[in-house]
């Protein structure tokens, strides 16, 4: 596999529509650019459409099968299905309702959490979705947080409680061959602002205890993947937010916390990134910092040719010395291991 084909594997891209054929732009990304995976959304924010990739169980099942049928290397097919208010597979479309992390944490019944996680994972597995971008392991240290606390996305203000519930969640998914992703590193729970909408500085609010769930789950072998938040902390890195920070990813997460798995970026089209960086620049900086899999939701802003635009920018960054080629090879190898893990866990 050549360098350009390996670069294609480092992306999880969103697309428009609930069905595709060979003429669809995402089909070209898969067949011509060796795209690593896709992310599904229930609605399109860019075009203000109430429906996007998800209409019904039968439709999603056909869509994922069609996507996989185009791929030489099996795709990661991801979705945000946390439960509660953050779910792409909604009850009104016939999918099972599941509790929010906050509800489960308040009841603090591990059997109940395992049941809700199993229901979620069973649903995803039946639909051909193999990556759930959950659980949230942010510590609920600021209840009025606009993107975590107010949306009931955190299990608890207690890191220990979060670790316990997240463990049950991940185990239930693994049993069904569905990968999980811890988010949002190094911790979004104390933020006063939402990184979807702009620069988010956690310097004065963040606490080292927000790393504890990551430490616990990494040590327990339960971290399939970890998502970075677009979070700025001047003591951790005076220049870059976490997604673009070598200090936070390579030094803190890789070296100090000993995480050797796949690092996934939050959506690079969120305003915490786009307000300060071009998309091509952000992608190159993220890869240089140690991110393996870049999410471009193509939902906040839609460009059907987004991958064709970014791959040449990455190749140019390598030629100019801004990005080391070895980062591509290392990221590619980790992603392939993650894909094998999904297949292996379901067949065991």
Residues annotated as catalytic (active site), given as ranges: 196, 266
d(C-alpha 336, C-alpha 331), whole Å: 9
**In Å, how far from its chain's centre is CA 341?**
17
Pairing of strands 86-87, 225-228: unpaired
Question: Could you tell me which of 160, 204, 162, 169 has the C-alpha nearest to residue 184?
Answer: 162
Burial of 247 (0-12, 13-18, 19+ CB in 10 A): middle
Side-chain-side CA neighbours of residue 226 (13 Å) = 31
Q: Which residue has the tokens 């839609």?
A: 302
d(C-alpha 16, C-alpha 20), whole Å: 9
The angle at the Cα of 13, spanning 12 to 16, to the nearest 5 degrees, equals: 150
Pairing of strands 86-87, 81-83: antiparallel
Contacts of 160 (CB under 8 A, 6+ apart): 212, 216
Side-chain-side CA neighbours of residue 301 (13 Å) = 12
């Amino acid at each position: 596999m050549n360098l350009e084909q390996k670069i294609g594997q480092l992306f999880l891209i969103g697309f428009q529509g609930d069905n595709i054929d060979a003429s669809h732009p995402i089909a070209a990304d898969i067949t011509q650019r060796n795209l690593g995976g896709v992310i599904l959304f229930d609605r399109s924010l860019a075009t203000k459409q109430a429906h996007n990739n998800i209409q019904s169980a039968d439709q999603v099942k056909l869509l994922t099968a069609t996507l996989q049928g185009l791929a030489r290397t099996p795709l990661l097919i991801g979705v945000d299905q946390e439960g509660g208010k953050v779910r792409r597979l909604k009850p009104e479309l016939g999918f099972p309702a599941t509790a929010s992390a906050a509800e489960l944490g308040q009841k603090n019944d591990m059997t109940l959490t395992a049941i809700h996680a199993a229901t979620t994972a069973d649903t995803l597995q039946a639909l051909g979705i193999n990556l759930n971008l959950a659980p949230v392991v942010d510590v609920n240290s600021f209840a009025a947080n606009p993107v975590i606390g107010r949306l009931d996305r955190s299990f608890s203000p207690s890191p220990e409680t979060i670790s316990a519930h997240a463990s049950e969640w991940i185990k239930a998914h693994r049993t069904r061959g569905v990968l999980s992703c811890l988010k949002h590193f190094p911790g979004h729970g104390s933020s006063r602002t939402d990184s979807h909408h702009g620069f988010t500085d956690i310097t004065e609010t963040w606490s080292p205890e927000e790393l504890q769930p990551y430490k616990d789950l990494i040590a327990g072998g339960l971290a399939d993947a970890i998502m970075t938040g677009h979070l700025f902390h001047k003591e951790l890195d005076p220049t870059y937010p976490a997604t673009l920070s070598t200090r936070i990813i390579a030094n803190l997460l890789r070296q100090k916390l000993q995480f050797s798995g796949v690092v996934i970026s939050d959506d690079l089209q969120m305003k915490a990134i786009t307000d300060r960086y071009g998309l091509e620049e952000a992608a190159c900086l993220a890869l240089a910092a140690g991110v393996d899999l870049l999410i471009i939701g193509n939902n906040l802003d839609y460009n059907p040719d987004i991958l064709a635009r970014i791959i040449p920018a990455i190749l140019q960054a390598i030629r100019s010395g801004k990005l080391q080629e070895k980062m591509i090879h290392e990221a590619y190898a980790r992603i392939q291991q993650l894909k094998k893990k999904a297949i292996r866990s379901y067949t065991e």
